[in-house]
Structure 1
Amino acid sequence: MAVLKRLMNSGGPRKPAPSSGDLITQQQLQQEMTELMKDKPSLFAPTSAPAVMLENLQGLYQHSTRLMVTFAACVLVPTLLTVGYLAFYASDQYETEMSFTVQQGTKSQRSVTGVMALAAQISGFSSTSQETFMVLEYLRSAAVVHDIGGAAFLEPIFARNDIDYLARMDQKLPIEDIVEFWRDKVIPELDARSGIINLKIRAFSAEDSELVAKKLLTLTEKLVNGISLRSRNDTLQRVEQDVKRSANILAETRLKLLSFRNTEQSIDPVQDAEQISIMITDLTLKRIEIETELETMTKQSSGNSPAIRVKKDQLDAFNQQITKLEARLTGSVGAKDTVSSKLIEYETLQTELAYREKLYSITLSGYEQAREEVEKQQIFVIPIVSPSVAESSTYPNFTETTVSIFMLCAALWSVLALTIAAVRDHSL
């Protein structure tokens, strides 16, 4: 038995082969093997290779068990809960989709040719107007929630008791939470190149989603019309101020002209000057006629005849009248009461009056054009895809949601498992 023990000892020295005198019988060998089998626990000592392998297998089994347990708890259980929720508890959601664009009706934009539009698209410039971005922000804001009716309008649609607890909106929420829920159910998307807004509305019935879509379309039209009207009203107010200012100046000019006529006691100095010129012309012709007759009479009779004296008196009277009329018309240099001086002031007032009347006419015409523009709808919403009643529920998407939850939980579980393994390795 001592020989067999030495043979089984892996660390002992190798002995030479026994001689013929040391040979043992078969019966003795069987006895030695029996005793060796009784001593078999020594084969699994802590330092032996089988013991190490067994310990590693046990550790691997325990580690795999822990992994499976954590995988089931972190991945399979949430996935099964999701499947159960979607299959038996989740409320169906219906989606209504519509598309529209904000169109401007100004002449400058209507005159853009197809070649210019194509060049803008090739160059990468966006055709989206500022009003389109304003509409997009409006659909995401608290203002649209307030305009559509607030909690009084939304609670009968999104907070009914027949909707599952996880999906429905709580009642009596503050405006911030209502807006957050609104943004989850109303999703506007903008195609910046074409300027088309695609709007998706989710509700728990097809009729409710269509109702919300139509209300939003009406509110959007009201918004863009209000923007356009406010802009054009500002322009109209400025034009009205110009018209009033021009009318006041015109009235002041007319008052100046009326005051001039009352002061000078002359309705039209131009006509007065024409009449005086006509009178001077007539008197001059008559004076020439008298001078001709006087010259003839002087040649035929003596210069002291009564007829000649009468003609001379008539000639002197005509000369005096002509002198007075000429003095009234022109007068001396710097005279203020002459028709010519009045004529200068009158013409100045007339010129100013004509200018003010023309200016008033231009501003009044601009006011009429601005007023006509206000009556027109310069910015309007063009529906491309009108809202309609959905025929089947779109959400929740069973397959997509389940796969997403499984992948997300699996990714988190993998990260957690790798992190724990790295910490253990580092601690060893």
Structure 2
Amino acid sequence: MTDNKLNYIGPIPKMLTFEQDRPAWWKRIPVAALLVVALPTLLAAIYFLLIASPRYVSEAQFIVRSANQNAPSTIGAALQGVGLAPTQTDAFAVHKYITSRDSLRELSQRYEMSAILAPPGADAFSRYPRPWEDRSTEGLYKGFQRFVTVGFDSTTGISTVRVEAFRARDAQALTEALLAGGEQLVNRMNDRAAADAVAQARQSQEEARTRLGAAQMQLTAFRNREQFIDPELAAREGSQLIGGLQAEVAGLRAARAQVASEAPNSPQLSTFDARIRAYESQIDTERARLAGAAGSLATKISAYESLALARELADRELTQATAAVINAEQEARRQKLYLDRVVSPSLPDKPAQPRRWAAVLTVFVSSLLAYGVGWLIWAGVREHRQD
């Protein structure tokens, strides 16, 4: 008698394979990944794709240069090629002005900045003020800085100013106003530099003119007091007179000697002697008037020469000061700065900000990196505990 066998053909029951049911894929995602990666990316996508207000960007480029700025040398061009061009501090002054409170105050005098930075319909995280900001002057300044940026290219020396606004016309108007304010700042810097340089030169010129006038007055007072226009000329005339008298004395002595040799007892000899004594007395008088006596011309000439020298020095100083004024004016013109517009403020025809998909991708990549770093740290801590 044979036994009948029952054979089962079909899938093996799960209870016999000891296999467990695998959860759904979304249940296998770690909660930390959802919180660190998925949630921020979702919020960023909702904000940037659905809520963020479009902003228009107006851009302008300018360069600040001096009138005598020369082309760079071969070495300078090589340094510029590797990004080692010298910085332009004057351009940086314009940069600071554009993002300063002064520029905001001047813009507020022309435009209603609160209305431009917070028009109807703008989202709460883009406009001014944001939910955590207050409506104050300092808050307006901080909000203004979010909408204005200035950059500088060290290889070309060109500066770029970018202004964001919720309307295209507002962005262009603000950019134009900021450039106009920068030009006014450069003009004020030119005026102040020229005024300082020329003012110092003019002050030296006035001081030299004052000293020349004082020296001339002293010389005039001396002439009036001594009744001499030029004591040196009087001394020369006195010397010529003494020379003439000596020549007369020599002639008389020669004539007397001739008469005495021909007629020793001639009555003319006494006449010659009287005339010689008179001439010699006059010579002594003229010599005493020139030098030796307390009131002689030598003392007066010394004082006159001192006064004349002081006047000559003052005159030279005035000449040099006048030349310095002319040089200062010319140098001020050569050193004058100019703000030249390379690119005028543009009128955007479509919004450039925010870059929605780029912003979402940035949030996703950043969150993913943060999660990866955190997971590596946690894995290292867990392995250390197991050891």
Decide: shared fold, TM above 0.5.
Answer: yes
Aligned residue pairs total 380
User: Aligned equivalents of 2:359 and 2:26: distance in 1?
Assistant: 33
Amino acid aligned to 2:47: T
TM-score (norm 1): 0.74
Q: Are the structure 2 counterparts of residues 387 and 271 from structure 1 closer, same or farther at C-alpha, using a change threshold of 3 Å?
A: same
- C-alpha contact (below 8 Å) 1:213/1:387 kept by paired residues: yes
Higher helix proportion (structure 1 or 2): 1
Q: Secondary structure at the match of 1:57?
A: coil
- C-alpha contact (below 8 Å) 2:49/2:356 kept by paired residues: no
Which residues of 2 match residues 95-106 of structure 1 at below 5 A?
95-106=57-68
Answer yes or no: is 1:175 the counterpart of 2:137: yes
Answer yes or no: is 1:133 the counterpart of 2:92: yes
Structure 2 residue aligned with 1:288: 250
Q: Are the structure 2 counterparts of residues 244 and 384 from structure 1 closer, same or farther at C-alpha, using a change threshold of 3 Å?
A: same
Structure 2 residue aligned with 1:19: none
Structure 2 residue aligned with 1:94: 56
- CA offsets, 1:264-295, max 9 Å, x none? 33221111111112221222233333333333
User: Aligned equivalents of 1:115 and 1:174: distance in 2?
Assistant: 52
- C-alpha contact (below 8 Å) 2:37/2:364 kept by paired residues: no
- CA offsets, 1:228-283, max 9 Å, x none? 33233332333233223323333333343234334433221111111112221222
Q: Are the structure 2 counterparts of residues 210 and 76 from structure 1 closer, same or farther at C-alpha, using a change threshold of 3 Å?
A: closer
Structure 2 residue aligned with 1:353: 311
Q: Are the structure 2 counterparts of residues 292 and 422 from structure 1 closer, same or farther at C-alpha, using a change threshold of 3 Å?
A: closer
User: Aligned equivalents of 1:273 and 1:208: distance in 2?
Assistant: 87
Amino acid aligned to 2:281: Q
What are structure 2's unaligned runs of at least 5 residues?
A: 8-12
Which residues of 2 match residues 20-419 of structure 1 at below 5 A?
25-26=3-4, 50=18, 53-54=19-20, 57-58=22-23, 62-64=27-29, 74=39, 77-82=42-47, 84-85=49-50, 89-106=51-68, 109-110=69-70, 114-121=73-80, 125-149=84-108, 153-170=112-129, 173-301=135-263, 303=265, 305=267, 307-331=268-292, 335-374=293-332, 378-409=336-367
Q: Are the structure 2 counterparts of residues 83 and 194 from structure 1 closer, same or farther at C-alpha, using a change threshold of 3 Å?
A: closer
Q: Are the structure 2 counterparts of residues 427 and 115 from structure 1 closer, same or farther at C-alpha, using a change threshold of 3 Å?
A: closer
Q: Secondary structure at the match of 2:265?
A: coil
User: Aligned equivalents of 2:74 and 2:31: distance in 1?
Assistant: 69
Q: 1:69, CA displacement in angstroms?
A: 7.2
Structure with more relative contact order (C-alpha pairs < 8 Å, separation 6 or more): 2
Q: Are the structure 2 counterparts of residues 69 and 365 from structure 1 closer, same or farther at C-alpha, using a change threshold of 3 Å?
A: closer
User: Aligned equivalents of 1:264 and 1:287: distance in 2?
Assistant: 31
Amino acid aligned to 1:217: L
Moved more, 192-201 or 245-254: 245-254
Q: Secondary structure at the match of 2:22?
A: helix
- CA offsets, 1:354-406, max 9 Å, x none? 12210111012212332454567711112111213222222233332333344
- CA offsets, 1:297-317, max 9 Å, x none? 334445352x44333222221
Q: Are the structure 2 counterparts of residues 157 and 300 from structure 1 closer, same or farther at C-alpha, using a change threshold of 3 Å?
A: same
Q: Are the structure 2 counterparts of residues 63 and 355 from structure 1 closer, same or farther at C-alpha, using a change threshold of 3 Å?
A: same
What are structure 1's unaligned runs of at least 5 residues?
A: 1-22, 34-40
User: Aligned equivalents of 1:162 and 1:186: distance in 2?
Assistant: 21
Q: Secondary structure at the match of 1:229?
A: helix
Q: 1:176, CA displacement in angstroms?
A: 3.0
Q: 1:418, CA displacement in angstroms?
A: 7.8
User: Aligned equivalents of 1:358 and 1:202: distance in 2?
Assistant: 61
Structure 2 residue aligned with 1:16: none
Q: Secondary structure at the match of 2:119?
A: coil
- CA offsets, 1:157-191, max 9 Å, x none? 22222434332223973233223222221111111
Q: Are the structure 2 counterparts of residues 350 and 220 from structure 1 closer, same or farther at C-alpha, using a change threshold of 3 Å?
A: same
User: Aligned equivalents of 1:409 and 1:123: distance in 2?
Assistant: 36
* RMSD (Å) for aligned C-alpha atoms: 3.9
Q: Secondary structure at the match of 2:350?
A: coil
User: Aligned equivalents of 2:46 and 2:3: distance in 1?
Assistant: 73
Q: Are the structure 2 counterparts of residues 80 and 60 from structure 1 closer, same or farther at C-alpha, using a change threshold of 3 Å?
A: closer
Q: Secondary structure at the match of 1:197?
A: strand
Q: Are the structure 2 counterparts of residues 181 and 314 from structure 1 closer, same or farther at C-alpha, using a change threshold of 3 Å?
A: same
User: Aligned equivalents of 1:102 and 1:372: distance in 2?
Assistant: 20
TM-score (norm 2): 0.81
Which residues of 2 match residues 2-17 of structure 1 at below 5 A?
none
Q: Secondary structure at the match of 1:100?
A: strand
Amino acid aligned to 2:285: K
Could you say which structure has the larger radius of gyration? 1
Moved more, 410-419 or 127-136: 410-419
User: Aligned equivalents of 2:225 and 2:294: distance in 1?
Assistant: 13
User: Aligned equivalents of 1:418 and 1:208: distance in 2?
Assistant: 49
Amino acid aligned to 1:326: R
